[in-house]
Amino acid sequence: MAESYEGGCLCGAIRFRAAGAPRFVAHCHCQSCRRQVGGVIATFAGYAVKDVEWTKGHPGVYASSPGVTRSFCKNCGTPLAYESEKRPGDIDLFLGAFDEPGKLPARSHVWTEARVPWFHADEHLPMHLRSGLED
């Protein structure tokens, strides 16, 4: 069977499958991500939209800033995805929603200019002050 990864929200209303290996897995320290997930970082797995299938339910969408949408479960609130017009055709899935996030270790940090100073993890990974992706 081809490589794929599944996940879903806390209540089970939303399920997804991502085909293949993610293009990147990154810890994002930006304030918008922190607020969306209610944590000090958000970790993403980057995919092409065409490689991600919502296998159960459809997430709600919130436009958090111009050109940026963030998806979540309308029932339980679990954060699920980030999409930006700066990277059309891409979707970043929140790694914490995957069934087996341990299989997809982070490879970098982004938006470290906004990091919470006492939080330390994966300090050996490449660090980008801002996005590190579309810059």
59: DSSP letter: -
* Under 8 Å between Cβ of 86 and 46: no
Give the Cα-Cα-Cα angle 119, 68, 3 (nearest 5 degrees): 75
- Which region, judged by CB under 5 A, interacts with Zn ion, from 17-25, 31-39, 112-120, 123-131? 31-39
- Residue 110 bridge partners (DSSP): 28
Q: Which of 26, 30, 80, 95 binds Zn ion (CB under 5 A)?
A: 30
Considering only the stretches 7-15, 63-71, 85-93, 117-125, report the one whose residues sit in contact with Zn ion under the rule CB under 5 A.
7-15
Three-state DSSP state, 101: helix
Minimum distance from CB of 43 to Zn ion (Å)?
Answer: 10
- Range 9-28, binding Zn ion (CB under 5 A): 9, 11, 13, 28
Residue 75 interacting with Zn ion (CB under 5 A): yes
**Residue from 18, 25, 26, 33 binding Zn ion (CB under 5 A):** 33
Calpha distance 39→86 (Å, rounded): 25
- Residue of 18, 41, 73, 80 that binds Zn ion (CB under 5 A): 73
Nearest to 52 by CA among 80, 78, 18, 20: 18
Nearer to Zn ion, 2 or 88 (CB): 88
Both tokens of 17, joined, read 């499958």
Judged by the rule CB under 5 A, the positions of this chain that interact with Zn ion are 9, 11, 13, 28, 30, 33, 73, 75-76
